[in-house]
Structure 1
Amino acid sequence: MRSMKLLWGIIGLLMACVLVLTMLLTHAVRTKPGAPLPSVPPDSAMAVPPNEPVAVVGGKSIPYGELMNRLTEKYGAELLSQMIDREAIRQEAEALQVTVSRGEMDAELTRMQQGYESEEQFYNSMKEQLGLSKSELNEDVYYKLLLERLATRNVTVTDAEVQAYIKEHPEEFKSFVQYHLLKAELKTKEEANQFIADLTKGFDFGVLAKERSVDAATAKAGGDLGFVEENDPFIPPFLIQAARTLKINEVSKPVPVKNGYAVIQLLAKRETNKTIDETVKANIRRELALQKAVPLNELVKQIRERHKATVKMPNFQ
């Protein structure tokens, strides 16, 4: 339940590609979740003449029509499939009087923000990783919850099953500590010691990390790892061990790592006390219900068939 960043990162590339075509087709026209798509006004992107140049290179134009044809060929089928799914889900929910409230959407968005330092960081990350704006993410969450509600509407999960899950998965409910770390990796111990010496002279850690760190994954961000959990499998244990010994803003001694030596600085520390409250129990109940329900991809197929969804143009099959 804590690894929301990884979960969303998995689907990022495809979603980003599909959204390029979405934005061109809708010309930035947005609707509230669950509402039918608006008609496209005459002055929108759809009304651009096919021969209108969208770019010029060395005197040669790239026409709008060619761009749209390429986008349609590459992403059109995926985008159309998403649109069909959402419309079929909307019709099914309307027929069964199944709804999702704004409060339920806000609760889900709050749950997704676990592991992020702030709401702003969460939305910025969604934009960078998935290409999703705040309104697009809201729409995505709306249809996700609506589909889950359809899948689990006749599923019962007892209190005893919730308690059994808690008993069987104690690791999910342990308190844990997070450390906000800066890290720089240097090739030799001498370079690491010089890095520390320069910090004592007043140099900024982030600036030095950008200039000297050989860790390409973190150097561009000034070595900022953000908040990492004490049991994070992607952080070497010896770095966490070093972090435990530091006071806020203190810098470590050189720590041996695979490619040399690391220097870390502890910017902040926070402890999360996991309490099993009603919100946690509700999330467990929801996960257990989904495990009992028809798989969501299978349910979408069934809903499409019930509402006779048909793709009319062969190149969108």
Structure 2
Amino acid sequence: MRRTKRLYSPVVLLALIWVLMGETGCTAGQPGNDTVATVGDVKITRQELVDQLLANSGAQTLRTLMLRIAVDKEAAAAGIAVTDEEVEQELERLSEGYGGLENYFSAMREQLGLTRDEVRKDALYRLKLERIATMSVNVTDEEIDRYLKEHAEDFGPKTELQLSHIVTENRDDAEKVLKKLEDGGDFAELAQEFSVDGWTASQGGDLGWMEIGDPFVDQAVVDAVSELEVGQIAGPIETEAGYEIVMLTGRKDTPAMGREAARQEARRRLALDRAEPMAELEQALLDKYGAEIRDPELKL
């Protein structure tokens, strides 16, 4: 399961600033003084909003835009092209652990404020950067064979489970909650009322998605829910947290990766391990294409 602190990424801020400046025909540096919000009789203008966005995150947002241009130039010069199909495959890879692509898009929207289009653009950028980083790295067939053998579990079939739980301090309390569930009680409402896990209680007990074998999930819980049907409940289960009642709310079974796809992924991992660190490559590309920030207030 994955949780990400909610924040606004440079990608989101860049899009927002463009929208703000683009409406009503505003030009760069002159967003306009039309009112975008009011609080009582106090007005907030478009100019004030853009100024605040630029002051808070303008430097990082500008760097993101410059990097995209530099990477596009280098990819074009090197003859690197990324297809829509490759972007979709990358998104599928990134969505592992989220229970599917739709859940991944929802998580990126809720946690980072990214739209689907922004997620795709970011995936495209990362793929181009990886291709640039690894285009001169040589990986032999023997190395790929060895990697596949040593990491066989990464390429085999996977099962992802979405769980919710209610944690109580003792078995008696757990049995009382279980009885309420058997009598038709709503799991999410009971989690909010009785669970001592404050982090998940406020979310109706939602634990998110996990893979079978996830080391951060108690093995007793995995054993109890792995054979359940979606909607079924197991427990009470004694764990380090207390006594848990667990409901399976989603399940996704993914078949083993095909031979050629597995070899490509193994090569990718091996090449990235040997490639120049991405942050260093990004700076090198900015230097190569003479990137220069003219406004001193936007320098990092």
Q: Indicate whether the TM-score tops 0.5.
A: yes
Q: Which moved more, 1:126-135 or 1:266-275?
A: 266-275
Would you say the 8 A contact 1:76–1:316 is kept in 2? yes
1:191 aligns to 2:158 (yes or no)? no
1:88 aligns to 2:97 (yes or no)? no
Count of residue pairs brought into register by the alignment? 298
How far the C-alpha of 1:144 sits from its partner, in A, is 1.0
* 1:242–1:157 distance in 2 versus 1, CA, 3 Å: same
CA distance in 2, matches of 1:273, 1:76: 44
* 1:222–1:142 distance in 2 versus 1, CA, 3 Å: same
1:219 match: 201
1:264 aligns to 2:238 (yes or no)? no
The one of 131, 147, 150 equivalent to 1:168 is 150
Would you say the 8 A contact 2:160–2:253 is kept in 1? yes
CA distance in 2, matches of 1:75, 1:283: 35
Match of 1:263, SS?
strand
* 1:165–1:27 distance in 2 versus 1, CA, 3 Å: same
| TM-score, normalised with respect to structure 2 | 0.86
Would you say the 8 A contact 2:11–2:64 is kept in 1? no
1:285 aligns to 2:267 (yes or no)? yes
Would you say the 8 A contact 2:163–2:246 is kept in 1? yes
* 1:210–1:229 distance in 2 versus 1, CA, 3 Å: same
How far the C-alpha of 1:274 sits from its partner, in A, is 3.5
How far the C-alpha of 1:188 sits from its partner, in A, is 3.4
1:299 match: 281
AA aligned to 2:100 is: S
How far the C-alpha of 1:174 sits from its partner, in A, is 5.3
1:255-288 superposed Cα distances (whole Å, 9 cap, x missing partner): 2344542112345656555456211110111111
How far the C-alpha of 1:160 sits from its partner, in A, is 0.5
2:14 match: 22
2:113 match: 131
Would you say the 8 A contact 2:91–2:101 is kept in 1? no
How far the C-alpha of 1:94 sits from its partner, in A, is 1.9
1:113 aligns to 2:56 (yes or no)? no
* 1:199–1:42 distance in 2 versus 1, CA, 3 Å: closer
Structure 2 unpaired stretches of 5+: none
Match of 2:99, SS?
coil
1:52-84 superposed Cα distances (whole Å, 9 cap, x missing partner): 333333422333322222211110100110111
AA aligned to 2:60 is: E
1:92-137 superposed Cα distances (whole Å, 9 cap, x missing partner): 2222222111121111112212233332212111111222111011
Would you say the 8 A contact 1:196–1:251 is kept in 2? no
Identical positions, percent: 32
| TM-score, normalised with respect to structure 1 | 0.82
CA distance in 1, matches of 2:130, 2:100: 27
CA distance in 1, matches of 2:239, 2:108: 31
How far the C-alpha of 1:19 sits from its partner, in A, is 4.2
CA distance in 1, matches of 2:282, 2:230: 50
1:33 match: none
Match of 2:234, SS?
coil
How far the C-alpha of 1:176 sits from its partner, in A, is 5.1
How far the C-alpha of 1:170 sits from its partner, in A, is 4.1
